[in-house]
Amino acid sequence: MRDAEQAIDNEIKSRSITPADQLQTQSVPPPASQPKSGTMVDLKSRDGEKIGEVEGDDRSLVVRPLKPLDPEAKPTKFLIRKLEEYRRGDEDLVRGKRLSEGDAFNYDLEKGEGGSIIAISIRNYRTNARRQEVMNIIRWTIERNLESKGSNQ
C-alpha cells in the first residue's frame, strides 16, 4: 500500500512541478477554480476539457465532477487521504487553541448510486494557497478517474 501511495505522490509531483524555462511558453488557463461568491464556473482539465463544475465563495467550495468518482480508485483514495490530513491538521490547531473550531478545514463527500462520489464540499480552506492545492488534487483525481474509465470501455 505504501508503494502505491508513493507512486501516486511521485506522479503528482512529476506533473505538478514545471521548470521555470517552460513556464514562459505555457499559456495560463482561466481561473476556473476561483469562483466569485456564489457563482458556478467550469472546472477544466490541463488540456482545457470541461471535467466538472465549481461553486463557491471565500470560505467554501463545492466541486461536482461531470462523471461520478469511484471511491475505490487509487486517485480517489489519495484525495480523501489528503483531505483528511488537512482536517486533522486543523483539528490539532483547534485543540491547541490556535484556531477556532468554526474556522477549521472540513469536507464532505456527497455520494450517489453505488456509493460513487458526485460532489466534494470543502469548507474553511483559509488561504488561497491551500485552496489552490486542494483544487489541484481534485482536478488530478478527476482526470485520473476519467482516464481509467476511458481505458475500461
Question: From CA 9, how far away is CA 88, in angstroms rounded?
Answer: 19
How does pLDDT run along the chain (153 residues), one tens digit per residue? 677 677 776 776 666 565 555 554 444 444 444 445 568 899 999 999 999 999 998 899 999 999 999 999 999 999 999 999 999 999 999 999 999 999 999 999 999 989 999 999 999 999 999 999 999 999 999 999 999 876 554
What residue segments make up the domains of the chain, in order of their start? 2-151
Question: From CA 85, how far away is CA 73, in angstroms rounded?
Answer: 19
pLDDT for residue 151: 55
Decide if 63 contacts 52 (C-beta within 8 A).
yes
Cell triple for residue 38? 456564489
Decide if 118 contacts 99 (C-beta within 8 A).
no
pLDDT for residue 90: 97
pTM: predicted TM-score of the whole model, two decimal places: 0.73
What is the helix (H) or strand (E) element at residue 63, kind and residue range? Answer: strand 60-65
- Calculate the CA dihedral of residues 16, 141, 106, 81 and round it to 10 degrees: -90
pLDDT for residue 14: 64
